[in-house]
Structure 1
Amino acid sequence: MKNIKPYPTEEELPPIKTLNEVDFSAIYSYADYMRFEFEERLEIIKGYIFEMSPAPSRIHQKISGRIYVPIYNALNGHQCEVYSAPFDVRLAKKTQDDRDVFTVVQPDIVVVCDPAKLDKRGCIGAPDIVVEILSPGNNKKELINKYEVYEEAGVKEYWIVSSSDKTFFRYILDDKGKFQPTKLLTEGEEVTTRIIPGFKLVLEEVFQD
């Protein structure tokens, strides 16, 4: 009978110190993600590595702040909490064991209403709201790859904001667990959501300047 060596623990696995050591054709888990010691930011979607855009532009940061602050203010006194990137969201399918988690993303903004999903490393499970602000070069990833994992995980609302087009688009999860698209919004219009009572986002203020 062969002596089968047990799978090494996270502590026994060697660190991955440079981006050159990453095999972009291989499958990675959150356990592997925790071994990354380089500065470059990566996300894992269904086991595959995706490079994130360089540091967000000034406009990107400005828009993020103009969305984050109204949400933060509206949540005062509520159980829901809002976080901005960098903030790891682990979307588990089988178990919450690090070796079984194959999607780890860093949305620009997330709202989490279940305190049990929050731990010292971020969020484990689907946030209630995910906000992605598109940057040149990553539109395909946001619109296709992330759409699929957010829908599968049960994210209630997925907001996509384009700074270049000055548009706001939202998917809302229906009773069957499928995203339903809403009207494309732009300057002069407002955004509300049932998840945050009393919240109102004025797009004229978001996209000004």
Structure 2
Amino acid sequence: MKNIKPYPTEDELPPIKTVNEVDFSAKYSYADYLRFEFEERLEIIKGYIFRMSPAPSRIHQGVLTNIFGPIYNILKGKPCHVYTAPFDVRLAKKTQKDKEIFTVVQPDLVVICDQSKLDKRGCIGAPDIVVEILSPGNSKKELISKYEVYEEAGVKEYWIISPEDKTFFRYLLDDQGKFQPTKLLTEGEKVTTPILPGFTLILEEVFQD
């Protein structure tokens, strides 16, 4: 009688080599995400796969650089860290087990002040600041879902920046764990945050091409 190899356990499932093997109607965990071997970047939000935009435009990358620079400079010698995509942020709920994490995102920029949240894979838990720079590829469903998971995870500040409209919008987490919207800002205005004492973001410089 032939030896019959048992069905592989979840830890032994084969790699997913092409994006064509992904079932966009199915639910995935971070354990599944680790099986992806293709180059296309995907995010998992509440278990569902979202395609990320193609290579960001030059304008997008310019805005990202103009935000990263001032934050990086103010953080020199301080415990907070700033990272830009691709950088995995795992928003775990009840457990940190890979197979039970159903949201893995790659924001354009994050600031993390709790070093215990950092590991060799990226960040597990809510960053202090999350920055998303809008592009034509962002869907309304994606933006709504990200708002919900960032609020639920406890992200203190969620910045949304539109290079096309040259606007800056921010949600602040209140004492009840709910996001509160702030004034829409644009060129000629400045941004400060208690998370980064001494930091000032000059929006005219952010949108400068």
Residue of structure 2 equivalent to 1:103: 103
In the alignment, is residue 191 of structure 1 matched against residue 191 of structure 2?
Answer: yes
TM-score relative to the length of structure 2: 0.95
Which string of whole-angstrom CA distances, capped at 9 and with x for unpartnered residues, describes residues 51-108 of structure 1?
0000111000000000001001011121100000000000000100000100000000
Distance 2:101 2:142 in 1: 19
Structure 1 residue ranges, 4+ long, deviating more than 3 angstroms after superposition: none
Distance 1:199 1:119 in 2: 26
Distance 1:122 1:128 in 2: 14
SS at match of 2:50: strand
Q: For 2:9, give the aligned amino acid.
A: P
Counterparts of 1:64-103 in structure 2, within 5 Å, are 64-103=64-103
In angstroms, what is the RMSD of aligned CA positions?
1.3
Cα pair 2:110 2:128 within 8 Å, conserved: yes
* Cα 1:189/1:30, change in 2 over 3 Å: same
Q: Percent identity?
A: 79
Cα pair 1:133 1:162 within 8 Å, conserved: yes
Residue of structure 2 equivalent to 1:135: 135
Residue of structure 2 equivalent to 1:207: 207
Residue of structure 1 equivalent to 2:9: 8
- Residue 127 of structure 1 deviates from its aligned partner by 0.2
Q: For 1:147, give the aligned amino acid.
A: Y
Give the number of equivalent residue pairs: 204
Which string of whole-angstrom CA distances, capped at 9 and with x for unpartnered residues, describes residues 146-203 of structure 1?
0000000000000000000000000000000000000000000000000000000000
Cα pair 1:134 1:142 within 8 Å, conserved: no
Unaligned 5+ segments in structure 2 are 1-5
Distance 2:208 2:83 in 1: 23
Residue of structure 1 equivalent to 2:162: 162
Distance 1:137 1:190 in 2: 27
Counterparts of 1:15-94 in structure 2, within 5 Å, are 15-94=15-94
* Cα 1:141/1:113, change in 2 over 3 Å: farther
Q: For 1:58, give the aligned amino acid.
A: R
